[in-house]
Amino acid sequence: MSTRSIKDLTKLEPKMASGHRLCAGCAEGIIARQVLMATDKPVAVANATGCFEVSTSIYPYTSWNVPWIHTAFGNGAATCAGLEAAYQSLKKQGKITDEMRFVSFAGDGATYDIGLQALSGAMERGHHMMHVCFNNEAYMNTGIQRSSATQFGASTTTSPAGSVIPGKGEYSKDMTMVMIAHDIPYVAQASPHNWRDLIGKAEKGFECGGPAFLNVISTCPRGWRTANDSAISMAQLAVQTCVWPLYEYENGKLTLTADSERIAVGKQEKKPLMDWFSAQGRYKHLTKDKYIPLVQTLQERLDAKWERLLKLSKL
């Protein structure tokens, strides 16, 4: 958890300026600002193709006040690893003396699916960089197609809910656990509604001395069918229902944090999964009576996953 105050953070020179063209209510800009606030060192950014890249760099304008490179959909992490490798070489040659940090931003499509090979390779090679996933649970930039981050039952353009299927028929990939399996120094899940927790995790990721992965729930009003002013409340609801638990894996130890820690010890309410479904248009069909048995099954599965996480964190 970050020890910096709001007052201190507002005094920082913004690394990403306002005036970008992200959709109203998109959480990606909020997340990126919080992540970039987590370091005072010079930082270079690699940005995979997606909503965030398109909206912050429409020629001839840019929202970036730091070195930034646009890379393809599938090789964001590889590009960031290349930046870090070049920096290490120049540092050894004495051509650079400044301490620098490197971060790649990508959506879930460019992290869970198309970019997984590049990400896994960068993590395994031990590059001192952090990969941040804006997890909005679909390929939003290209038309709201399902990805392997899309949750079971969500209606997307390639898994439309109707008389044949109840939305997506497969469970989402647990990418955070996939990254933990790489045995890297730092992995975490975060949410923009808890800025202190997110910034604190980004601080640890930047300073862990090796590869780090930060998976952040990123609300998308267009794809989730939610109100434009609900980005923060929806992110918070994801945590309160345990759909998106907050935790970190640091040097081999898994720890629940913030809201999720309070839920685990009984200091905060764990809300039912139906609260999550009923708040979004992409799950509207699951609120019908005929899907009650399915929702119960999904709740049981979510509860079991939460219990496994409690055991891993020894709470």
Residues 100-111: what's their mean pLDDT?
Answer: 97
Order of all β-strands in the sheet with 101-107: 68-71, 43-48, 101-107, 130-135, 212-217, 186-190, 247-250, 253-256
The structure's pTM equals 0.95
Contact between 108 and 167 under an 8 Å Cβ cutoff? The reply is no
Compute the radius of gyration of the chain from its Cα atoms. 19
pLDDT digits 0-9 by tens, 213-233:
999 999 999 999 999 999 999
Residue type, 253: K
Cα(135)–Cα(160) distance, integer angstroms: 20
Cα(46)–Cα(77) distance, integer angstroms: 8
What domains does the chain contain, in order, with CATH numbers? 6-313 (3.40.50.970)
Q: How many C-beta neighbours within 10 Å does residue 183 have? A: 12
pLDDT band for position 315 (cuts 50, 70, 90): low
Q: What is the mean pLDDT of the chain?
A: 95
Q: How many C-beta neighbours within 10 Å does residue 97 have? A: 7
In 3D, which of 269, 266, 278 has the Cα closest to residue 241? 269
In 3D, which of 224, 200, 225 has the Cα closest to residue 212? 200
Cα(95)–Cα(51) distance, integer angstroms: 35
Q: Report phi then psi at 6, rounded to 5.
A: -55, -40
The pLDDT of residue 19:
84
pLDDT band for position 110 (cuts 50, 70, 90): very high
CA 154 to the chain's CA centroid = 18
Cα(139)–Cα(125) distance, integer angstroms: 28
pLDDT band for position 2 (cuts 50, 70, 90): confident
Cα(189)–Cα(245) distance, integer angstroms: 7
pLDDT band for position 273 (cuts 50, 70, 90): very high
Residues 80-89: what's their mean pLDDT?
Answer: 98
pLDDT digits 0-9 by tens, 25-57:
999 999 999 999 999 999 999 999 999 999 999
Residue 1 has pLDDT above 90, yes or no: no
